[in-house]
Structure formats: structure tokens, C-alpha cells
């Protein structure tokens, strides 16, 4: 009885967090069937096999190129039945999580999101709660289970397999398209903030949007995504989707570099899952230093260019 | 139009989180409780819609024990007309969604926050929508009504999406959908006498069981590096932290 993994694609490419979901399911031990919807680049199927899928169901329905959440839920529910899968695993996302919640209702499954580790015996999962300030251990009691994992719950690893690709289709009705997407505005080519391994964030200490050039240069050198504090997006210095914290994006990179951010508890709530935190602030008493691994007391406009140079020199 | 706003009663964002009884119970000692910040956005947008559309009523609903009543009264002071408290501990998303769905029938618009800031499941809106068989959209940053069509903007990874759906609808809200509202004196006075109905929960079989809570391991001390020696930071990130 295989575990079903919902694999999300963005512009035809498999999302990195979905590879983590594959790794998670693979490590659970039973076989892995991946399901992927919409238009998918041909080379991606090979990737899914390499990362642990034994079988890939491809739903080549162009209507699913849009995140039609209700339709996704219908397809996933049917696939769980057809594949006789008791467990559905997927990565937390603005599409996956609500679709998964609907699947849980349709299949009478136990549901958990923000899961950070493989299940312990008895199907007890560890969840991140209180915006990263604590964990809970939750037993999933029903026979069917839906698990939405947080970034880094499992390490995406090639396991060297190859998958059987199966064309799969589910009849969808109008009610599956009960929301109509009329437009999408997306930063193109950029590294997505929630998935980034390195994040460079700026706060009010950056003084104004016109100074973001040096921060972006640093980010580019590091192949990092850019983030910001809430006041920065409130003042429209940066777009809202870059706002990190309690009321914004929760990031979980290997490295988070905070520049000119004081370290208010609401900001820290969004970054406390980072592996390593570097704080650059001109005020030695800024609270962020207490939450940091490395700190530099200094002026952002002096330190940022030096840091960019030092990284270029290392490469 | 009838709007239902579902609010959570959660620790203030500055709270220190702690557990007692061998990690099985949240320590409320010294903790101030608030309307969930995302729910507060939902409520603010509901009040704006009420002000702009004559004949609109706003009901708030909370699943919680008696201690949540000050939080509910605050929502009434902000401008909701009446309130329902489902007398039960909000143990998990499915339970809360089940209780909301019991009362949400007949409302045109069901608004709530994108997630509660205690358990962070972020799915109650989707579950309620599924149970009622109506659309649900989240996280909504902008919501406007045009007849029975709801025009929304939803945040997605790295951008935003424009979405339309028809009433009735469930929306999980976040900023900048509206500005938080602060109750004024008149609001606070009138909130005391607004109807607050207490109802018993629908019984359900629990699908999950929380066994215990845990705090993250404490962080080691920060290592300070001189601004004149930025290269050392890079070296340490590479060789010591191994993140470059
Ligand atoms: C309910 C609620 C939710 C919230 N949610 C969030 C959230 O999700 N995310 C968030 O970020 N905030 C959130 N906040 C706001 C939060 O409390 C802080 O106000 C905010 O994080 C401060 O942003 P900041 O650090 O950029 O600005 P400030 O606090 O003004 O800090 C600026 C920092 O820059 C430093 N600085 C100034 N000039 C320089 C320079 N030249 N070089 C280097 N450093 C310099 C200063 O020393 C200071 O430490 C929330 C607040 C509430 C009440």
C-alpha cells in the first residue's frame, strides 16, 4: 500500500519542497506514488523517479495549470482511493495545504500541517506551533491520514530509482472550479522566499527603498531570496510577499541574514526555524543579537558591500 | 447581508510560551489573550462592509470556554452586532471547523483569519468551505463585493493572485485587507449589552490527539565579529556553520 505524494509544479518545474515530501514518504518505508497535475516539463518525471517515486500519476489537464484548489482536492481524493493509499503527504503551500484539508474532510482522514519530522510509532507527528515557538506531538488516529510538511521536515535526496509514468484523469465538474483565477502577479526568475536556502532581509534600518540595490546585490551573490520586516512592506518599500514574521512569511533557510532589523518578537517568529542567523545592526543592544548565531555591529551601508566582496572573493 | 466572523482567542504575539504538567498543558500564567491578529483583520473588513452596505449584520463566533468572553466582548466593541460562543475547548482544526459549520449556514460571507497563531494549522476556512459545499479562499489580502460576486486578491508564494467567486463564501484573511480597528468608548459601553449566545458543541469523534508539547532547544550564544573583519564572517559561515 503506497503512500501518495502530491507533487506541486511551478512553471512546469517540480517545487523543491515537493522533493522533500517525496523524501518524507520514501523514508516512511512503504512505496511512493507521486501525483502531479497540469503541464509538466518532460525532464521532471525523471527527477521524481530519482527522488523516490516508484510510480507517477500525471493528470495532464490544462485547467490544473492554475491552482484550482477544489479541483485538486477532488483529484487527490480519487487518487487516494484508486491507489488504495491510506496516507497522503505533501508540502505546505498556498495550494497544497487547503487542498489537503479538503481531502481530509472528503476521506475522513486525520490531518496535520506544519509537520517537522517523520512520524513516530503509533503515527505520532511533531508539528511546529505558536509560530515556531513550540512543538506539539499529535497522534493521527484515523485510518486515513493527510500530512502537510513544513520545509526541512525531510532532506530531499536522490535515491536513484526510476518511476513508471501513468496518465491519470478524473472527471471534473463545474463545482470543482468554484473559484475563478483572473490574474497572477509573480516575481519571475527569483528564488521563492518560502523555499530559499539563503535569505537576505532588510528592515527599517535600510532607510528607504532606494537603498535596496546593495541588498539585492548581496542576495544575488549568495543566490538568496530577499525578505523584509513588516514596516518595510507596510511602507511599500518592498512587496508584501517579502514580509517575514508572525503575520508574514515563515522562512526556514540554512542561512538568514538580517540587516537593519531590530528583532521584535513578531519578526523572530518568522525566522526561528533558520539553521543559522546572522545579524547586522548598528545598535549593539538590538534584541536580534540574542537570537543570532553571528553578529556584526556596524552600519549597513558600510558592511553590506564589504560582505558582498568577501563572498565574491571566496568563490 | 449576513456576515459571520470567526475569531480565535490566542496569546498576545509577545507572549513567552511555556508548558506545565509535564508538557501537557499551556501555561497561561502571565499571558495576555487577544483576538487572533489575522481574525482581527477579518473583523475589521467585516465592519467596513457593514458600514458601506446598509442592512448588513456582523455576528462573531468563537469556539472556546467561558474565559474567552472578554475577547468576544472586544469584538462586539469593535462593531459586531452579536456573538455566539460554542462552549468547548478548540482542540484541533477539524473540531473547530465542525462547530463553525454548524452555525455558518445562512450567512453570505464567513470570514476568519488565515490561521490561528497558537496551533497554526491554517486550514479551518478550507474545512468549513468543504463541509458547507461552498468556495473558500485564503489568504485573502483584498476583498470587494460586486453584487453576489466577490473579487479577491490572494497571496501565493512569490506573488499574488486575483480570484473571483460567488457568495456564499468562506475567506481566510490577512493584511492588508483592512486596518485593525480599536474600540472606542461608545463601542465598549454598547458591547456590554449586545447579545452573546452560548451554545453547546456538536459532539464529534476526535481524529487527532495531542499528546504533549515541547519547547525548541535553546540557542547558543551569539558570536560577534568586527565590522572591519567581514571576511571572517564568511569563513566561519563556510567552515564552522557550514551554510555556504
Ligand atoms: C500583532 C503584530 C504582528 C506583527 N507582525 C510582524 C511581522 O510579521 N514581521 C515583522 O517584521 N514585524 C511584525 N510586527 C512589528 C514588529 O513589532 C516591529 O515593529 C517590526 O518588526 C520592526 O521592524 P524593523 O526591525 O525593520 O524596524 P525597527 O524596529 O525600527 O528597527 C530598525 C533597526 O535598524 C537598525 N538600524 C538603523 N539604521 C541602521 C544602519 N544604518 N545600519 C544598520 N542598522 C541600522 C536600528 O538599530 C534598529 O535595530 C508585528 C507587530 C504586531 C503588534
Ordered by start, the domain boundaries in chain B are 2-213
Of A70, A98, A58, A100, whose CA–CA distance to A174 is shortest?
A70
Asked whether the predicted pLDDT for residue A23 surpasses 80, the reply is yes
In 3D space, the residue among A118, A109, A54, A56 whose CA is nearest the CA of residue A81 turns out to be A109
Cell of A68: 484550482
pLDDT in tens, A124-164: 999 999 999 999 999 999 999 999 999 989 999 999 889 99
| Percent helix, strand and coil across chain B, each to the nearest 5 | 25, 30, 40
Cell of A46: 525523471
Distance from CA of A258 to the nearest CA of B (A): 14
**B167 in contact with chain A, both atoms CB, cutoff 8 A:** no
Say what the pTM is. 0.93
Cα–Cα nearest to A140, from A164, A98, A175, A107: A107
B236 within 8 A of A294, measured Cβ to Cβ: yes
Which set of grid coordinates corresponds to residue B134? 461552498
Task: Kindly report the backbone phi and psi dihedral angles of residue B58, in degrees, each rounded to the nearest multiple of 5, phi listed first.
Answer: -120, 120
> Mean pLDDT throughout B181-199?
95
pLDDT exceeds 90 at position A1: no
The pLDDT-based confidence of A11 (bands split at 50, 70, 90) is confident
Mean pLDDT of the region A40-54:
94
Contact of B19 with B27, CB cutoff 8 Å = yes
A192 contacts B157? CB cut-off 8 A: yes
The reply to whether CATH 3.20.20.70 applies to domain A193-314 is no
Grid cell for residue A58 = 500525471
pLDDT of B172 over the 90 cut? yes
For A162-225, what is the HEC assignment?
CCEEEECCCCCCHHHHCCEEEEEEECCCCCCHHHCCEEEEECHHHCCHHHHHHHHHHHHHHCCE
- Contact at 8 Å (CB) between A218 and A280? no
Best residue among A203, A234, A241 to mutate for probing ligand 1's pocket (most ligand atoms within 8 Å of CB) is A203
Instruction: Measure the CA–CA gap between A168 and A181, rounded to whole angstroms.
Output: 24
Distance B177 CA to ligand 1 centre (A): 21
Of B158, B139, B177, nearest to B44 by C-alpha is B177
Q: Which residues of A183-206 are buried (b: 16+ CB within 10 A; e: fewer)?
A: eeebbeeebbbbbbbbbbbbbbbb
Alpha carbons within 13 A on the beta-carbon side of A139: 9
pLDDT of residue A33: 97
Nearest residue to B60 (alpha-carbon basis) of A112, B52, B68, A207: B68
* Residues above pLDDT 90, as percent of chain B: 95
DSSP state of B214: E
Concatenate the DSSP letters of all residues of B178-190 into one string.
S------HHHHHH
Question: Which residues of chain A make contact with B233, given a CB cutoff of 8 A?
Answer: 278, 294, 296, 307, 310
Chain A, chain B: beta-carbon pairs less than 8 Å apart: 251
Q: Are B97 and B122 in contact (CB under 8 A)?
A: no
Per-residue pLDDT tens over the stretch A165-211: 999 999 999 999 999 999 998 876 668 898 899 999 999 999 999 99
Q: Scanning every residue of chain A, which has its alpha carbon at the shortest distance from the alpha carbon of B16? A: A133
B2-213 — its CATH code?
Answer: 3.40.50.620
Q: What is the dihedral of CA A263, A264, A270, A276, to 10 degrees?
A: 20
- Which residues, 6+ apart, have CB-to-CB distance to B127 below 8 Å? A101, A102, A104, A105, B93, B94, B97, B101
* Mean pLDDT, residues B119-130: 96
How much is the pLDDT for A209? 97
Cα–Cα distance, A48 to A19 (Å, whole number)? 8
Closest Cα partner for A196 from A266, A153, A251?
A: A251
Mean pLDDT over residues A259-285, rounded? Answer: 96
A29, pLDDT greater than 80 = yes
> Per-residue pLDDT for A37 more than 90?
yes
Q: Say whether pLDDT at B114 is over 90.
A: yes
Is A314's pLDDT higher than 90? Answer: no
Specify the pLDDT at position B218: 86
Instruction: At A141, list the grid cell.
Output: 488516529
- Chain B CB within 8 Å of residue A279 CB: yes
Question: Would you place residue B144 in the very low, low, confident or very high pLDDT band (cuts 50, 70, 90)?
Answer: very high
Domain ranges of chain A: 3-177, 193-314
**Angle at Cα A12 formed by Cα A7 and Cα A18, nearest 5°?**
25
Three-state DSSP state, B144: strand
pLDDT of residue A189: 60
B131 C-beta neighbours (distance < 10 Å), count = 20
**CATH homologous superfamily, domain A3-177:** HUPs (3.40.50.620)
- Pocket of ligand 1 contains residue A283 by CB under 6 Å: yes
Sign of torsion over alpha carbons A136, B132, A95, A79: positive
* For chain B, percent of residues with pLDDT exceeding 70: 100
CB atoms within 10 A of CB B192: 10
Question: Grid coordinates 540587516 are at which residue?
Answer: A259
pLDDT (0 to 100) of residue B58: 98
Q: Is the CB of A203 under 6 A from ligand 1?
A: yes
Is the beta carbon of A248 within 6 A of some atom in ligand 1? Answer: yes
**Which chain B residues in 145-164 lie under 8 Å from chain A, judged by CB atoms?**
154-164
Chain A: closest CA distance from residue B242 (Å) = 9
Q: What is the mean pLDDT of residues A91-110?
A: 97
User: What average pLDDT does the structure give for chain B?
Assistant: 96
Q: How far is A296 from chain B, CA to nearest CA, in Å?
A: 5
Residue A236, C-alpha cell as written in the block = 511599500
Average pLDDT over residues A242-246: 94
Residue numbers of B between 186 and 225 with CB closer than 8 Å to A? 206-216, 219-220, 222-225
| Cβ contact A292:A278 at 8 Å | yes
**Which residues, at least 6 apart from A290, have a Cβ–Cβ distance to it below 8 Å?**
A263, B222
Bond prior to B153 in cis (omega within 30° of 0): no
Amino acid at each position: 500500500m503506497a503512500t501518495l505524494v502530491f507533487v506541486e509544479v511551478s512553471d512546469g518545474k517540480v517545487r523543491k519542497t515537493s522533493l522533500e515530501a517525496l523524501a518524507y514518504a520514501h523514508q516512511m518505508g512503504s512505496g511512493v506514488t507521486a501525483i502531479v497535475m497540469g503541464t509538466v516539463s518532460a525532464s521532471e518525471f525523471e527527477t521524481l523517479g530519482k527522488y523516490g517515486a516508484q510510480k507517477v500519476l500525471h493528470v495532464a489537464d490544462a485547467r490544473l495549470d492554475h491552482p484550482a484548489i477544489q479541483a485538486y482536492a477532488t483529484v487527490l481524493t480519487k487518487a487516494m482511493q484508486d491507489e488504495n493509499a491510506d496516507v497522503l503527504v505533501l508540502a505546505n503551500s498556498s495550494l497544497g495545504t487547503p487542498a489537503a484539508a479538503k481531502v481530509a474532510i472528503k476521506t475522513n482522514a486525520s490531518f496535520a500541517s506544519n509537520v517537522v519530522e517523520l512520524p513516530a510509532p503509533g503515527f505520532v507527528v511533531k508539528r511546529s506551533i505558536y509560530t515556531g515557538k513550540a512543538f506539539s506531538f499529535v497522534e493521527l488516529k484515523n485510518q486515513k491520514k493527510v500530512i502537510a510538511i513544513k520545509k526541512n521536515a525531510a532532506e530531499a535526496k536522490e535515491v536513484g530509482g526510476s518511476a513508471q509514468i501513468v496518465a491519470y484523469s478524473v472527471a471534473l465538474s463545474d463545482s470543482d472550479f468554484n473559484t475563478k483565477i483572473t490574474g497572477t502577479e509573480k516575481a519571475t526568475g527569483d528564488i521563492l522566499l518560502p523555499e530559499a536556502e539563503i535569505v537576505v532581509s532588510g528592515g527599517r534600518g535600510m532607510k528607504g527603498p532606494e537603498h535596496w540595490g546593495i541588498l539585492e546585490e548581496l542576495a544575488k551573490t549568495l543566490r538568496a531570496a530577499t525578505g523584509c520586516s513588516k514596516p518595510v512592506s507596510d511602507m511599500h518599500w518592498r512587496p508584501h510577499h517579502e514580509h517575514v514574521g508572525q503575520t508574514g512569511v515563515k522562512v526556514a533557510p540554512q542561512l538568514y541574514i538580517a540587516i537593519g532589523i531590530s528583532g521584535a518578537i513578531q519578526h523572530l517568529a518568522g525566522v526561528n526555524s533558520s539553521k543559522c542567523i546572522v545579524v547586522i545592526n548598528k545598535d549593539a543592544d538590538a534584541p536580534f543579537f540574542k537570537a543570532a548565531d553571528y553578529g556584526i555591529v556596524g552600519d549597513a551601508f558600510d558592511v553590506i558591500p564589504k560582505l558582498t566582496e568577501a563572498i565574491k572573493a571566496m568563490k | 447581508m449576513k456576515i459571520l466572523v470567526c475569531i480565535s482567542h490566542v496569546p498576545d504575539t509577545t507572549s513567552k510560551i511555556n508548558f506545565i504538567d509535564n508538557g501537557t498543558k499551556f501555561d497561561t500564567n502571565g499571558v495576555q489573550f487577544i483576538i487572533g491578529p489575522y481574525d482581527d483583520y477579518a473583523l475589521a473588513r467585516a465592519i467596513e462592509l457593514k458600514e458601506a452596505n446598509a442592512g448588513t449584520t456582523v455576528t462573531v463566533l468563537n469556539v472556546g470556554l467561558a474565559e474567552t468572553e472578554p475577547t468576544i466582548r472586544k469584538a462586539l466593541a469593535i462593531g459586531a452586532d452579536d456573538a455566539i460562543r460554542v462552549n468547548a475547548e478548540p482542540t484541533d482544526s477539524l473540531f473547530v471547523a465542525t462547530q463553525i459549520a454548524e452555525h455558518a449556514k445562512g450567512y453570505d460571507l464567513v470570514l476568519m483569519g488565515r490561521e490561528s497563531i497558537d496551533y497554526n494549522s491554517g486550514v479551518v476556512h478550507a474545512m468549513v468551505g468543504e463541509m458547507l459545499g461552498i468556495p473558500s479562499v485564503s489568504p485573502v489580502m483584498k476583498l470587494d463585493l460586486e453584487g453576489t460576486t466577490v473579487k479577491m486578491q490572494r497571496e501565493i508564494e512569490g506573488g499574488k493572485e486575483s480570484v473571483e467567486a460567488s457568495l456564499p463564501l468562506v475567506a481566510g484573511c490577512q493584511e492588508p485587507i483592512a486596518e485593525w480597528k480599536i474600540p472606542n468608548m461608545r463601542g465598549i459601553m454598547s458591547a456590554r449589552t449586545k447579545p452573546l449566545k452560548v451554545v453547546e458543541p456538536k459532539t464529534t469523534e476526535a481524529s487527532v490527539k495531542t499528546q504533549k508539547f515541547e519547547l525548541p532547544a535553546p540557542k547558543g550564544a551569539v558570536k560577534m565579529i568586527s565590522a572591519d573583519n567581514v571576511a571572517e564572517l564568511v569563513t566561519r559561515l563556510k567552515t564552522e556553520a557550514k551554510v555556504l
